[in-house]
Chains A and B, each alone.
Chain A
């Protein structure tokens, strides 16, 4: 009787160990010996190479809202990367291996360390080390954008002819921003990466871009506000030559959008910033 019980216990323990070992195998990517930081570097390199192969890609954008959210293209869109900020602001999680278009892919997640920013999932070809799909999910888990190959036209490792030029943080620009918009503080982890003059209809704008490495948002300075809409915060401020409006656009919590604009204290003076836009321009 006792022997029978021991035998049952042993079988149950063996079964449990088997299940645990299987689940741990599933959580590994195709290179289990790599450290997380090494994996992150491989991912950044893969993203900088971008969507190299030609084929058929399906690209869905749910924010900003569009009449037709899903469109086709012959390759994946480029991502606006700031590698140093990715290293600072995101944790890499290996979610396992999957099959995509019959190829082995590692599913990786870049989860923001700070609340409010979006999470990114990547499907990286294990052999070619390039992304075959990626998606952005907002702070509340909603799908914002997704791009995925649905067919590939190549059967060997493709070479990219135009590698991505990553964006860089511009401390000089940030000093000018704070001088022009007193006390302005972007959401934690976000840094100024570019500035440009824009024209929206008959409205001339000054448009700053902030990034946390992967997520970007524009801060627009204009002589008019915009109507209320999802993902847009607007604030009217006194300027040197009359009223000015700040627009912040992004899939953030409403409190983050409004709280960011509320950091600006006192009258704004964007004359110096405009000169900066002319002389430095943007990375794009």
Chain B
């Protein structure tokens, strides 16, 4: 992809008259600036979004309840653990 500045210069150099060159140069310059700005904004939003997602993932992993798949919370575990201990004693 061509650099916006090169595009600007190409437009200016391809015009035959000085006023045409000025107009073309200004139009090209404005287009390039708009394009650059929109691309820059997109990149900024993308970076911000990725950073936010990373922070959320980190927080989730750090503060998730231990063993949540078996019903653990910070101070207690699932009563199924107690029932399992009972069942193992008799083997039923």
Contact call B92/A247, Cβ cutoff below 8 A: no
Hey, which chain B residues are within 8 Å of A78, CB to CB? 91
Contact call B92/A226, Cβ cutoff below 8 A: no
Contact call A224/B75, Cβ cutoff below 8 A: yes
Hey, which chain B residues are within 8 Å of A65, CB to CB? 83
Asked whether A249 and B82 contact (CB < 8 A) given A59-B92, A61-B92, A224-B75, the answer is yes
Contact call A220/B85, Cβ cutoff below 8 A: yes
Contact call A226/B90, Cβ cutoff below 8 A: no
- Closest residue on chain B to residue A236 by CB atoms: B75
Total contacts A-B at CB 8 Å: 82
Contact call B92/A77, Cβ cutoff below 8 A: yes
Which B residues from 74 to 92 make CB contacts under 8 A with A?
A: 75-79, 81-92
Contact call A80/B86, Cβ cutoff below 8 A: no
Contact call B89/A209, Cβ cutoff below 8 A: yes
Contact call A225/B75, Cβ cutoff below 8 A: yes
Contact call B79/A218, Cβ cutoff below 8 A: no
A interface majority secondary structure: strand
Hey, which chain A residues are within 8 Å of B85, CB to CB? 198, 200, 205, 207, 218, 220, 247, 249
A202 at the interface (CB under 8 A from B): yes
Contact call A201/B83, Cβ cutoff below 8 A: no
Asked whether A226 and B81 contact (CB < 8 A) given A61-B92, A202-B66, the answer is yes
Mark contacts of B48-85 with chain A using CB atoms, 8 A cut-off: 1 yes-contact digit, 0 otherwise. 00000000000000000011001110011111011111
Contact call B79/A227, Cβ cutoff below 8 A: yes
The one of A198, A205, A207, A226 that contacts B79, using a Cβ cutoff of 8 Å: A226
Hey, which chain A residues are within 8 Å of B67, CB to CB? 201-203
Complex CA distance for A61 and B83, rounded to whole angstroms:
12
Contact call B76/A225, Cβ cutoff below 8 A: yes
A1 at the interface (CB under 8 A from B): no
The one of A59, A79, A226 that contacts B82, using a Cβ cutoff of 8 Å: A226
Contact call A200/B81, Cβ cutoff below 8 A: yes
The one of B66, B76, B87, B89 that contacts A226, using a Cβ cutoff of 8 Å: B76
Contact call B92/A232, Cβ cutoff below 8 A: no
A68 at the interface (CB under 8 A from B): no
Asked whether A203 and B77 contact (CB < 8 A) given A78-B91, A145-B92, A216-B89, the answer is yes
- Interface set of B (CB-CB < 8 Å, partner A): 66-67, 70-72, 75-79, 81-92
